[in-house]
Structure 1
Amino acid sequence: MQTKQVIDHIVDWLKDYAANAKMNGFVVGISGGIDSAVVSALCAKTGLRTLCVELPIHQAAAQVTRGQQHIEGLKKKFANVSNVEVNLTKTFDTFKKAVPEVGESPNLDLSLANVRARLRMTTLYYFAGLHKYLVAGTGNKVEDFGVGFFTKYGDGGVDLSPIADLMKSEVYEIAKELNVINSIVTAAPTDGLFGDSRSDEDQIGASYDELEWAMKMVEEGKTEEDFSGREKEVIGIYKSRHRANLHKMQPIPVCEIPVHLK
């Protein structure tokens, strides 16, 4: 990949999109992870106002520290970068108290994880509305179009997606060129939605390198029968995730009323 040229292309694309939309800049949710670090740095390079928003909800201290260190580095380098923290922990806890208790539902943890993501999305759009900013998405290609590893109307609720055509490995290449801090580059990818140390790999059952490989194989028409051992298992994980999350990647189904019924 021609990393420098890709960076320039994305930065120009962001500037053109904002200009055509008559918007003043970008708002990015900062998680302490590689994707949000890269997206915020790319937005900063446009010269347009870039608001970095920290949105902790019972967040691990290491994630918060990484995010803060990244923001401070951006602010030293770019005069157009500002930041704000909105601690949503009490809001999340209030929500949990407000809804009826469900006992031992197997879906409770995931439902609450998605609530976290949607509270964050709502907050980002609050700031976007105040300042006429665009909400910049932080999903990469494997997450957004491969296994659908994002929350519908949570981190999937954005105005534009600058890195959604980049594989995770390519995001790391971009990060290196942008001098993203080492603590972020070396951290295990995590969505940070469960209040514990589980990584994306723990949740999905495969690493991003494995998922990238599987995505490429499936696009080439390969199936589980073409492989054995771990490779066969990874293909199965990828295809299962893709099928289950296809509803996130496709347009909302619309019930079209036949003309003769109108």
Structure 2
Amino acid sequence: MKEATVDDSVDVLLDMGALDVKEYLAASQPEVLIVTEDSIIRPLELLVDANNVKNKKVAIKSYFGVKAVDNTRSLIQAIRAFSNAKIVVHRDRDYLADADVETWKKAIREAGATPFVTSGADVEAYFSAIEHLAHVNPHIGPLELEALRAGALHHKTPAMKEKAINWRFDFAKKAKGINVNVGKIAAEVEQIFAMDEKAWLHGKEMVAGLRDGAAKIPGGVDVFEPSPHLTDLELRSALSAA
């Protein structure tokens, strides 16, 4: 396979709707480029800031096709033609089985980038931890905050289960075709939800529940703010090794 030229890379980026990545990198010249599936990047920016212990110059660029390894491989190859930045590819864990997470990580490494998969279902899950919420909401008493979070979790758990079943069904259908055992998937999801909540808590749903529950609290509830309780060792390692 011949090495990609700059012209080849521009063509690839244009086909993928990611031509602005080239212009973005030329302007920012980061040490680390994080390519993310998230269109709203503020939570990821905060998570990166909390784990960028070596103060590397980091740029974050949203690209919807990140979950598809073939697309991401093409993107990585194209970027390599005009940038020496370390590339970190982020995707949410969603409700992937551990083996599927490792398969995706392996493919990203083989493509020449560093994978980062959230420890929970999504980036927003980090901001749903009680320690973080307590830090950024000093105006809410400890007992009231505990009750707020418990209420949000209780209210949103059915929606999280539904999301988990639908997500696993769609994933299995794409991987295996029409022969998908929905009953087995539902049973697997019940097993997941019997585990520690970190294994299944969906942050976006939780944040919505927290905000609904805090409607009558003066000042509401703050979520996406900096705090020392956003540590992720995998992300920290990826940033530090750049």
Q: TM-score, normalised by structure 1?
A: 0.30
Q: TM-score, normalised by structure 2?
A: 0.32
By relative contact order (CA 8 Å, sep 6+), the higher-ranking structure is 2
